[in-house]
Structure 1
Amino acid sequence: MPIIQLSGAIAPIESMPVFFQDCALLDPLRHFITILRGILLKGIGLEVLWSHALVLLGFAVVIRGVSVARFRQQLG
């Protein structure tokens, strides 16, 4: 539930206290919703939203790396 609240889907991130705005930067759902709103509602492309796409790619790389390491640990 906190991830949804920090994503900006329920309340604007700008209206949150500064601490929670900083915490929201670590929320992958925030970046996904920003990209989704930009493409579907505003009609802008990834040339404007590339920073959010790179953050999501970074999350994916880190999570995949952790998953592979834990899988190898279970096999060994």
Structure 2
Amino acid sequence: MKGAQNEKIKVLVVVWVIGGLITSLFFLMSKQLQQNSNQLFVASKIKNKQENSDNSVNHDELLTLVNYENSLPEN
């Protein structure tokens, strides 16, 4: 009788540990998915800001492009 009861306790402990591991894994995966979702959201906001700023012309002389194709303006 005691042997059967010990076996039941062992099985319950193993099932409890496996359930805890599965639950922990679920929470870790959902947290990772949420972080990925947040990163995509932030990236899309940055991209939208860049696209909006590309459409406007900025006449700041400190931001003048100078290279072999674009010479320095005389003024």
Q: Scaled by the length of structure 2, what TM-score is found?
A: 0.39
Bigger radius of gyration, 1 or 2?
Answer: 2
More helix by share: 1
Which structure is richer in relative contact order (CA contacts within 8 A, separation 6 or more)? Answer: 1
Q: Scaled by the length of structure 1, what TM-score is found?
A: 0.38
